[in-house]
Amino acid sequence: MSRPIPIALTIAGSDSSGGAGIQADLKTFSALGVFGASVITALTAQNTLGVSAIHDVPDDFIAAQMDAVFSDLAVKAVKIGMLSRPGAIRTVAEGLARHRARPVVLDPVMVAASGARLLSDDSLNDLRTILIPAADLITPNLPEAGALLGTAAATTEEEMERQGAALLALGARAVLMKGGHGEGPESTDLLVTADGTRRFTAPRHVTRNTHGTGCTLSSAIAAGLASGLDLPEAVEKAKAYITGAIAAADRLDVGAGHGPVHHFFDLWRD
- The predicted pLDDT at position 270 comes to 65
Catalytic residue among 139, 210, 216, 243: 210
Question: What whole-number distance in Å separates Cα of residue 239 and Cα of residue 184?
Answer: 17
Tell me how far CA of residue 64 lies from CA of 70, 71, 94, 177, 262, in angstroms.
10, 10, 12, 33, 32
Catalytic residue among 27, 76, 79, 178: 178
Asked about 255 being catalytic, the answer comes back as no
- The predicted pLDDT at position 177 comes to 98
Asked about 197 being catalytic, the answer comes back as no
Within 79-230, residue ranges assigned H as helices are: 86-98, 124-126, 142-149, 157-168, 213-226
Asked about 184 being catalytic, the answer comes back as no
Asked about 215 being catalytic, the answer comes back as yes
Length of the chain: 270
- The predicted pLDDT at position 1 comes to 61
Catalytic residue among 13, 19, 36, 212: 212
Nearest Cα neighbor of 223 from 78, 117, 113 is 78
Asked about 228 being catalytic, the answer comes back as no
Nearest Cα neighbor of 31 from 240, 181, 197 is 240
For residue 181, give every residue at least 6 positions away whose Cβ sits within 8 Å of its Cβ, in sequence order, or none: 141, 142, 143, 153
- Taking the CA atoms of the chain, what radius of gyration do you get in angstroms? 17
- The predicted pLDDT at position 137 comes to 98
Burial of 181 (0-12, 13-18, 19+ CB in 10 A): middle
Asked about 50 being catalytic, the answer comes back as no
Catalytic residue among 215, 216, 224, 239: 215
How would you classify residue 163: left for phi > 0, otherwise alpha for psi between -120 and 50, otherwise beta?
alpha
- The predicted pLDDT at position 180 comes to 80
Question: What whole-number distance in Å separates Cα of residue 263 and Cα of residue 212?
Answer: 10
Question: pTM for the whole thing?
Answer: 0.95
- Per-10-residue mean pLDDT of the chain, 270 residues long, equals 88 97 98 98 94 95 98 98 93 98 94 60 87 96 92 95 97 94 85 97 93 96 98 98 96 94 90
Question: What whole-number distance in Å separates Cα of residue 186 and Cα of residue 203?
Answer: 4
DSSP track, 46-78? EETTEEEEEEEPPHHHHHHHHHHHHTTS-EEEE
